[in-house]
Amino acid sequence: MMEITEGSHAVAHAVKLCRPQVIAAYPITPQTHIVEALAGMAADGEIDCEYITVESEFSALSACLGASAAGSRVYSATTSQGLALMFEVCFNVAGLRLPVVMTIANRALGAPLSIWNDQQDSISLRDSGWLQFYAEDNQEAADLHYLAYRVAEDHRVLLPAFVCFDGFVLSHTYEPVNVASQEEIDRFLPPFQPPQRLDSKDPISMGMYATPEYYMEFRYETDAAMHRANAVIQEAGMAFDEIFGRNYCGLTESYRLDDAETVFIAMGSICGTVKDAIDQMRDEGEKVGLLRIRCFRPFPLEEVRAALRNAAVVAVLDRNISLGSRGAVVLEVRDALYGSGVKVLGYIIGLGGRDVTKADIRKVAQLAKSGEGDLFYGLRREVL
């Protein structure tokens, strides 16, 4: 059933259909509408769950950790400084191999204070062991929650997952969304069956002290699970396509790449603007295309190599910055294409919610063709 709905409400409805047993969250702009809607559903009896009102984001994820360890399907949501406050617990959740799913309404980190969108918050936790999905639009933002639970809870994976969508740009925007039925989601997403859980009748220990003789093996196992997730994501995408007719069978999406010489790479809602700019440039005879990264962790190394094997130059649009180095995405792409002869250039763009227009995308294409890259695009020189 198609509905015109706000992005946050589409996500909340998707979470409801996943049948979470415990929800713990703390409101923070711009994700508040998600947990506000879920709190209303819980109060009205629309969700059979325990909704825990907590005093901070640290407490919210800590409650989710405990509930997941006890065998419950759990959910939370946050953004920006709230995610930063969860930093310690994020590593604990992944290290304990608990399939928590959390929505990130991407927002810039302070200081200075900003409530607008970029992807610095979730990117800052790229090494924590969480799967990371990035939605282009609100349909995908809803659908990726179904996929995230199915992949995270698969016994070959057992890792937590971020479902990221751009704050305000998507979270507060109304778009047409094809809303699934409970029966359809129940077909796609089986109940959570943990391989082990905390149980007073059958006690086990979790999160124990690890000496140097054993710690590295735990990290190895978590990394191996992240790599296994690649195939599981593709399996889940094919199963989703069979039921819903929407294709999430890969970790990337190609747009007009067949003969593209200049290729953009980006994540999130900016990709819609890039596609429109590509259509305009194509009409003018320019061979340009887009490789959209839907899943940043695990990074789709082989998909990137295959998609870009014929490109002459790649322009990576990063809405984040690894200060003192480059954007996080361009670093990954350069690693994937090392030795291929493809020129990879990075552009830090749209930080703190700055608008990125079709004209900007065209200018980046011109810079890439001239070989000028690895720069902050669109700086206001008069204030520097």
What residues pair up with 346 in beta bridges, in sequence order?
316
Residue 175's beta-bridge partner residues? Answer: 5
Structure tokens of 60?
């919210």
Q: How far apart are alpha carbons 367 and 377 in whole angstroms? A: 10
Please report, in angstroms and rounded to a whole number, the separation of the first and last CA atoms in the chain. 51
CA 116 and chain centroid, separation: 17
User: What contacts 42, CB < 8 A, 6 or more positions away?
Assistant: 23, 49, 51
Residue linked to tokens 């919210």? 60
**How many angstroms separate the most distant Cα atoms in the chain?**
70
Which residues are 3's β-sheet partners? 177
54 half-sphere exposure, CB direction, 13 A CA radius? 24
Beta carbons of 103 and 70 less than 8 angstroms apart: no
CA distance 165 to 117: 10
**Helix locations, 31-125, DSSP H:** 32-43, 57-69, 80-85, 87-95, 120-123
Q: What is the pLDDT of residue 1?
A: 83
Specify whether the CB–CB gap between 262 and 291 falls below 8 A: no
**CA 379, chain centre distance (Å):** 27
- Which residues are paired to 5 by β-bridges? 175
Burial-class residue 331 by CB neighbours within 10 Å (0-12, 13-18, 19+). Answer: middle
At 328 the pLDDT is: 97
Q: DSSP readout, 175-238?
A: EEEEPPPHHHHHHHSPPP--SS---TTS----S----HHHHHHHHHHHHHHHHHHHHHHHHHHH
Q: Which structural domains are found in the chain, ordered by start?
A: 2-244 (3.40.50.970), 252-383 (3.40.50.920)
Q: How far is CA 109 from CA 112, 270, 353, in A?
A: 8, 19, 11
H or E stretch at 300? none
Tokens found for residue 296: 């940043």
* SS3 (DSSP) at 168: coil
In a structure prediction context, what are the per-residue pLDDT tens digits for the chain, which is 384 residues long? 899 999 999 999 999 999 999 999 999 999 999 999 999 999 999 999 999 999 999 999 999 999 999 999 999 999 999 999 999 999 999 999 999 999 999 999 999 999 999 999 999 999 999 999 999 999 999 999 999 999 999 999 999 999 999 999 999 999 999 999 999 999 999 999 999 999 999 999 998 899 999 999 999 999 999 999 999 999 999 999 999 999 999 999 999 999 999 999 999 999 999 999 999 999 999 999 999 999 999 999 999 999 999 999 999 999 999 999 999 999 999 999 999 999 999 999 999 999 999 999 999 999 999 999 999 999 988 777
The letter for the amino acid at 329 is V
Q: Are 271 and 292 in contact (CB under 8 A)?
A: yes
